[in-house]
């Protein structure tokens, strides 16, 4: 049995007991100041307290208890180590891997020599760097050897890492953002990682300073931290909510501009753990740094639509045109539009199937006329990406100068592609694909040269399996993408963390396209009848009719 500890919950139960024992509460009289509340003492500290090994337990009971104790990271998984033989306790590495398995699917078998094999069905795993990867399904055997220690069975060999169902995993581990720069040093790009909730500042800072980006992002992002720089100690304490980051002596030789970028990465990374700021130091002396200004990726909260009368921002029942761009787009007979961040350009797919670059000066040019093109997407450098649905490897990017760059190695293994979406920071491209009969959300980093020209894609990453065919996708923010997909006889919208899990809600019937704003539960959906819906938590509200097209935005003008 696993006990859930909550100091605040216990205090609440005591309070209820006291109140129910009173004859009443005063309803009049002067207000009297009480004692100040200790913010740390008042914080709710939920943690699992797994049981110690019971006397006389069988090998299977010992292994079962050991797996259950993976939910208790206190004292470096001290309880779990009690299930191990003394010679094995210090060599077992609980943070080497976390396997997230399906509850109720574990099958135990015990051999004559006492060896116990546990078959688990993983849905995801987290490696030693905190990066989460989805699995392809199927069972996985885990083998445990046991010996007799003083009349009790103890584990002498076991795989490194812990095995948890998703509920316990998300209680023990938390999702954080390790922030890197795009290659232009303009945007910050989140690389989502999962670390134990204890000592979050240390885990995040170690990953940023001593680690590297996730392999699929390698080459698409940059860090200001030199490879020669190290943390001076293995601990990052907090003082008044500010992380104290001790660095090695080489930090003293780093130029101010680089230090300022380092500070920006540190502060933004630690903010994902609710930490207020960061102070770098060398030998206890503060290192002066001021975080550089970061280009935002927020979009206008108003939907961008096409009606029979106009193209632009929908405000109530009126459509506010985008200067210069609206008339250029409306005249193209568009069926899909994505507007660039500065609103001087748009990527358009016309009713005739061509992909067009529309400009705010009223001019336009056709950039792709191949048959069967999916909706195009425009990146932060003005490149328009397009691909035929039946040929995922035929991905191209058309530059502002008219040059077309092919990516012949794009999406290996995909047989169909229905959607492509470049992130607003220009570092990643998402794709809804079919890998044989399996629909999935894939992603790859975009490799660029020193001039921002895309020159290739990094390794593709399977972000999520989909319940049915992917219909549309839209970036919510830097770390979340919304996906419209089929599910049985209906449709769903999935708010998918890139490097995490997704949240699924039912969608209105006959959904055709979606456009996300800046929050996971702020998605717009257009159905085939031209009705526009706003997501309201777990439900949808119809807000407009007569909409011919729902466009997406890649940011806002600076």
Question: In whole angstroms, what is the distance from residue 252 CA to residue 247 CA?
Answer: 9
The DSSP code for 259 is: H
Q: Are 426 and 380 in contact (CB under 8 A)?
A: yes
The residue written with tokens 């392999």 in the block is 215
Nearest partner of 496 among 511, 483, 478, judged by Cα = 483
Res. 345 pLDDT band, cuts 50 70 90: very high
pLDDT at position 142, please?
Answer: 98
Residue 109 pLDDT > 70: yes
Question: In whole angstroms, what is the distance from residue 135 CA to residue 68 CA?
Answer: 22
Res. 521 pLDDT band, cuts 50 70 90: confident
Q: Which residue has the higher pLDDT, 83 or 489?
A: 83
- Distances in whole angstroms, Cα of residue 301 to Cα of each of 309, 337, 509, 522, 555: 21, 17, 24, 9, 10
Over the Cα atoms of the chain, what is R_g?
27
Average pLDDT score over residue span 378-392: 98
pLDDT in tens, 148-194: 999 999 999 999 999 999 999 999 999 999 999 999 999 999 999 99
User: What is 20-88 written as a DSSP string?
Assistant: HTSS----SS-----PPP-HHHHS--EEEEEPPPPTT--HHHHHHHHHHGGG--HHHHHHHHTTB-HHH
Domain 304-553, CATH: 2.120.10.30
Q: Are 81 and 149 in contact (CB under 8 A)?
A: no
pLDDT at position 136, please?
Answer: 78
Res. 222 pLDDT band, cuts 50 70 90: very high
pLDDT at position 47, please?
Answer: 59
CA angle 51–56–59, rounded 5-degree value: 80
Average pLDDT score over residue span 259-273: 98
Res. 202 pLDDT band, cuts 50 70 90: very high
pLDDT at position 137, please?
Answer: 73
pLDDT at position 333, please?
Answer: 97
Q: Which residue has the higher pLDDT, 521 or 69?
A: 69
Domain 199-286, CATH: 3.30.70
| Cα dihedral across residues 397, 401, 402, 408: positive or negative | negative
Average pLDDT score over residue span 532-547: 96
Ordered by start, the domain boundaries in the chain are 2-6+44-171, 199-286, 304-553
Residue 3 pLDDT > 60: no
Q: Which residue has the higher pLDDT, 198 or 415?
A: 415
pLDDT in tens, 15-52: 333 333 333 333 333 333 333 333 333 333 455 789 99
Nearest partner of 441 among 377, 400, 526, 501, judged by Cα = 501
Question: In whole angstroms, what is the distance from residue 273 CA to residue 538 CA?
Answer: 26
Question: In whole angstroms, what is the distance from residue 356 CA to residue 350 CA?
Answer: 7
Nearest partner of 58 among 124, 132, 144, judged by Cα = 144
The CATH number of domain 2-6+44-171 is 3.40.30? no
pLDDT at position 171, please?
Answer: 93
Nearest partner of 303 among 553, 505, 556, judged by Cα = 553
The DSSP code for 330 is: H
Render the burial of 410-446: b for 16+ CB within 10 Å, e for the rest.
Answer: bbeebebbbbbbbbbbbbbbbbbbbbeeebbbbbbbb
pLDDT at position 43, please?
Answer: 33
pLDDT at position 296, please?
Answer: 97
pLDDT in tens, 505-518: 999 999 999 999 99
pLDDT at position 225, please?
Answer: 98
Percentage of the chain with pLDDT > 90? Answer: 87
Determine the 3-state secondary structure of 261 from DSSP. helix
Residue 454 pLDDT > 70: yes
Tokens of 358: 């529309």
Average pLDDT score over residue span 361-374: 97
Question: In whole angstroms, what is the distance from residue 419 CA to residue 398 CA?
Answer: 17
Residue 92 pLDDT > 60: yes
pLDDT at position 551, please?
Answer: 99
Q: Which residue has the higher pLDDT, 408 or 62?
A: 62
Average pLDDT score over residue span 457-484: 97
- Distances in whole angstroms, Cα of residue 166 to Cα of each of 102, 123, 169, 500: 7, 9, 5, 11
């Amino acid at each position: 049995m696993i006990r859930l500890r909550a100091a605040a919950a216990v205090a609440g139960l005591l309070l209820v007991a006291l109140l129910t024992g009173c004859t009443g509460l005063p309803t009049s009289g002067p207000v009297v100041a009480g004692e100040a509340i200790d913010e740390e003492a008042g914080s709710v500290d939920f943690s699992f307290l797994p049981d110690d090994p019971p006397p006389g337990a069988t090998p299977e009971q010992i292994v079962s208890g050991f797996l259950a104790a993976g939910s208790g990271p206190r004292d470096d998984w001290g309880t779990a180590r009690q299930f191990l033989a003394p010679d094995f306790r210090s060599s077992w590495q609980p943070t080497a891997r976390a396997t997230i398995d399906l509850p109720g699917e574990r099958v135990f078998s015990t051999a004559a020599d006492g060896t116990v094999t546990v078959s688990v069905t993983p849905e995801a795993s987290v490696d030693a760097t905190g990066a989460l990867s989805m699995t392809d399904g199927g069972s996985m055997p885990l083998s445990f050897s046991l010996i007799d220690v003083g009349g009790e069975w103890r584990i002498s060999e076991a795989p490194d890492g812990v095995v948890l169902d998703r509920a316990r995993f998300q209680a023990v581990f938390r999702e954080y953002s390790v922030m890197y720069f795009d290659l232009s040093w303009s945007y910050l790009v989140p690389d989502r990682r999962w670390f134990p909730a204890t000592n979050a500042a240390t885990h995040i800072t170690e990953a940023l300073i001593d680690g590297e980006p996730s392999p699929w992002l390698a080459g698409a992002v940059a860090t200001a931290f030199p490879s020669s720089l190290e943390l001076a100690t293995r601990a990052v304490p907090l003082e008044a909510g500010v992380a104290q980051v001790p660095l090695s002596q080489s930090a003293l030789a780093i130029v101010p501009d680089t230090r300022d970028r380092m500070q920006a990465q540190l502060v933004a990374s630690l903010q994902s753990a609710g930490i207020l700021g960061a102070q770098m130091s060398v030998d206890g002396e503060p290192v002066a740094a001021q975080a550089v200004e970061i280009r935002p990726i927020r979009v206008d909260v108003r939907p961008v639509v096409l009606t029979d009368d106009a193209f632009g921002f929908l405000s109530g029942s009126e459509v506010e045109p985008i200067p210069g761009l609206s008339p250029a787009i409306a005249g193209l007979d568009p069926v899909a539009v994505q507007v660039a961040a500065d609103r001087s350009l748009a990527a358009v797919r016309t009713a005739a199937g061509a992909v067009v670059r529309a400009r705010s000066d009223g001019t336009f040019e056709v950039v792709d006329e191949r048959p069967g093109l999916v909706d195009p997407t425009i990146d932060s450098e003005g490149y328009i990406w397009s691909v035929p649905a039946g040929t995922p490897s035929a991905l191209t990017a058309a530059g502002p100068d008219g040059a077309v760059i092919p990516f012949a190695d794009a999406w290996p293994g995909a047989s169909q592609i229905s959607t492509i979406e470049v992130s607003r920071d220009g570092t990643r491209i998402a794709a809804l694909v079919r890998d044989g009969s399996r629909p999935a959300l894939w992603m790859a980093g975009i490799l660029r040269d020193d001039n921002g020209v895309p020159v290739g894609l990094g390794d593709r990453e399977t972000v999520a399996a989909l319940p049915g065919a992917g219909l549309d996708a839209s970036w919510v923010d830097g770390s979340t993408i919304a996906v419209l997909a089929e599910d049985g006889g209906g449709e769903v919208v999935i708010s998918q963390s890139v490097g995490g899990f997704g949240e699924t809600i039912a969608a209105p019937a006959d959904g055709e396209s979606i456009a996300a704003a800046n929050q996971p539960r702020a998605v717009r959906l257009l159905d085939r009848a031209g009705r526009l819906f706003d997501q309201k938590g777990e439900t949808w509200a119809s807000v407009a009719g007569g909409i011919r097209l729902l466009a997406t935005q890649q940011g806002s003008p600076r």
